[in-house]
Amino acid sequence: MKVGLIYDPIYLEHDTGPHVENRHRLEQTVAVLEQSQLLPELVSLPPRAASMDELLLVHGQEYILRVESVCQKGGGWLDADTVTSSASYEAALYAAGGVLRGVDAIMAGEVNSAFGLVRPPGHHATYLRAMGFCLFNNIAIAARYALKNHGLQRILIADFDVHHGNGTQETFYSDPQVLYFSTHQYPFYPGTGAIDEIGHGAGRGMTVNCPLPAWCGDAEYLRLFNQVLVPVARRFQPELIMVSAGYDSHWADPIALMEVDVDGFAEMVTILSQLAQELCGGRLLFTLEGGYHVEALAYSIKATLEVLLGRPRTEEPLGKASGRRNPASVDSIVDAIKKVHGLS
């Protein structure tokens, strides 16, 4: 299996200072991949910059030009959570373009799967707004690009970030060609992602939200993957699976309240990989979203790549979740999701 890695030092130039979403996230990940000798097993996929036309697949021109202008003036805050520097616009172009490079490499058979080690992240960015550390919606742009340029009809986006991907949901809420599946802590930022948010018009039923209470861990996430994601994916029959890979549901993450550990992420990736093998020739593209404990993030990404490579898993130095608190029962949540989406 050929696995691609999308990375460039340009991503480090998105200078957010002491912000929780900072360059150390990628620096630590690259260091762990180098120490584990994984890098030689990966196919390097150097990114390119996304074009204006490609950004316009998802965002309004007024918004794009605003981001560019703020960065040209030295950077600043686009909202209460999202800060930029002078190089952030270029980094964001390469983040979006890097995921497009992954689409092209997978569709050309250059690699079977790929991981976009990119920043700034994207899944909160909407048509006209930066949100939640995100400038441009990398995965949404890539999905629209794949539909337009590679003749695809059906794409599955799975999002396991601890925060709901409101921007991605908004982009495809009325689109029958994109199935959006999300597991997320709820209620939590950004306040969207309720079970009854299922899509509109031709896209009705194509949004599958799995809101979870705090303190959920591997068992709860894997139950939703097996009992909801697997059957809806098989029903939809995607031609490409794309993943918003946020690792902020790790038990050590400083800004969330979940109990997932590295083995849990590895199991989720295993399910996604198996679905890709079964349904779409193994075509599977990950792009980095959240994850703010740099060591937990690095080893979770390492585990993701080990699964994609078919390599034996190694242990996480941080260990298992302590089980500090038990989550509320998710039985009623699972039952409600199944009922809304017609799953037995």
Q: Which positions are catalytic?
A: 124
CA angle 162, 292, 143 (to 5 degrees): 55
Residues whose CB is less than 8 angstroms from the CB of residue 200 and which lie 6 or more positions away in sequence, other chains included: 173, 174
Report how many helices (DSSP H) and strands (DSSP E) the chain contains, helices first.
11, 10
Q: Which of 209, 206, 187, 186 is nearest to 196 (CA)?
A: 209
Cα separation, 271 vs 222, in Å, equals 9
The SS3 assignment for 84 reads strand
CA distance 110 to 92: 24
Is the peptide bond preceding residue 120 cis, with omega within 30 degrees of 0?
yes
Give the SS3 label for residue 208.
strand
Torsion angle, alpha carbons of 135, 140, 146, 147, to 10: -140
Task: Please state whether beta strands 83-85 and 75-77 pair in parallel, antiparallel, or not at all (unpaired).
Answer: antiparallel
Within the chain, where are the H helices? 24-35, 52-55, 61-72, 88-107, 138-149, 166-172, 218-224, 230-236, 262-279, 294-309, 331-340
Query: 179: part of which helix (H) or strand (E)?
Result: strand 178-185
